């Protein structure tokens, strides 16, 4: 990532918009914005910043579905570079490996932190967990509000739901159980 280029880019945007460069509120805006984008909003473009520790399943254990709900999603849309924010539900049925629940949040947060389309975020999380945990199946649902719909265009509340199902989650009984769990408990965001 090239901080200098990002900073120059934001300076050009301000210049192009005709913002007075001497307005005290804008004096350090390009630096501040570039720091926020490179250090926080787009850290998902940098190499994985966590390790997914796994634990072996005790022999004789046959756990069913493991579900984590209300995982915060904070991302940027690829088409307008405006935020989309909401929540993810992530579930898997283990084979031989388990992971800490908080790691599911970390995976979502890592993949969220870059400009992208919501469909890719949803499938990136599912494919990553399928590779790392080698479970019987994975299900991911993301519900997010898109500021590009709220602030421009149709100015309609842009709540979008995407899902990615792999392995046994493609089979009807598992899919139905997952969907029922995922939609049972809404929180406001
Ligand atoms: Zn957009």
Within this chain, do residues 85 and 150 fall inside the same structural domain, yes or no? yes
The helix or strand, by DSSP H or E, that contains position 110, with its residue range, turns out to be helix 101-112
Residues by chain with Cβ below 5 Å of ion ligand 1:
77, 79-80, 148
- pTM for the whole structure: 0.90
Whether 156 shows a pLDDT value over 80: the answer reads no
Q: Does any domain span residue 7?
A: yes
Domain count along the chain: 2
Cα(83) to ligand 1 centroid in Å equals 8
Whether 153 shows a pLDDT value over 80: the answer reads no
**Which domain, by its residues, includes 20?**
3-41
Within this chain, do residues 129 and 155 fall inside the same structural domain, yes or no? yes
Where do we find the tokens 């805006």?
Answer: 29
Cα(66) to ligand 1 centroid in Å equals 32
Average per-residue pLDDT for the chain: 92
Cα(20) to ligand 1 centroid in Å equals 28
pLDDT tens by residue, 55-114: 998 877 778 999 999 999 999 999 999 999 999 999 999 999 999 888 999 999 999 999
CA 61 from chain center: how many Å?
31
pLDDT tens by residue, 10-33: 999 999 999 998 999 999 999 999
Within this chain, do residues 57 and 32 fall inside the same structural domain, yes or no? no
User: Radius of gyration of the chain from Cα atoms?
Assistant: 20
Nearest Cα to Cα of residue 77 among 181, 177, 158, 172 = 158
What are 91's two structure tokens?
Answer: 């579930």
Q: Does any domain span residue 128?
A: yes
Q: Does any domain span residue 8?
A: yes
First to last CA, the chain: 31
Cα(89) to ligand 1 centroid in Å equals 22
Cα(150) to ligand 1 centroid in Å equals 10
């Amino acid at each position: 990532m090239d901080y200098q280029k990002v900073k120059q880019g934001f300076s050009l945007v301000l210049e192009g918009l005709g913002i007075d460069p001497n307005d005290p509120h804008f004096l350090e805006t390009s630096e501040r914005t570039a720091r926020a984008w490179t250090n926080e909003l787009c850290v998902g473009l940098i190499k994985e910043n966590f390790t997914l520790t796994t634990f072996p399943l005790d022999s004789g254990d046959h756990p069913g579905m493991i579900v984590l709900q209300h995982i915060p999603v904070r991302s940027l849309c690829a088409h307008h570079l405006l935020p989309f924010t909401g929540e993810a539900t992530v579930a898997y049925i283990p084979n031989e490996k388990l992971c800490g629940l908080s790691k599911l949040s970390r995976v979502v947060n890592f993949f969220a932190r870059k400009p992208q389309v919501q469909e890719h975020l949803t499938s990136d999380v599912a494919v990553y967990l399928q590779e790392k945990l080698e479970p019987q199946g994975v299900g991911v649902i993301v519900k997010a509000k898109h500021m590009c719909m709220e602030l421009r265009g149709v100015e309609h509340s842009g709540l979008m739901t995407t899902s990615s199902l792999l392995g046994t989650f493609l089979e009807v009984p598992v899919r139905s159980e997952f969907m029922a769990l995922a939609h049972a408990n809404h929180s406001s965001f």
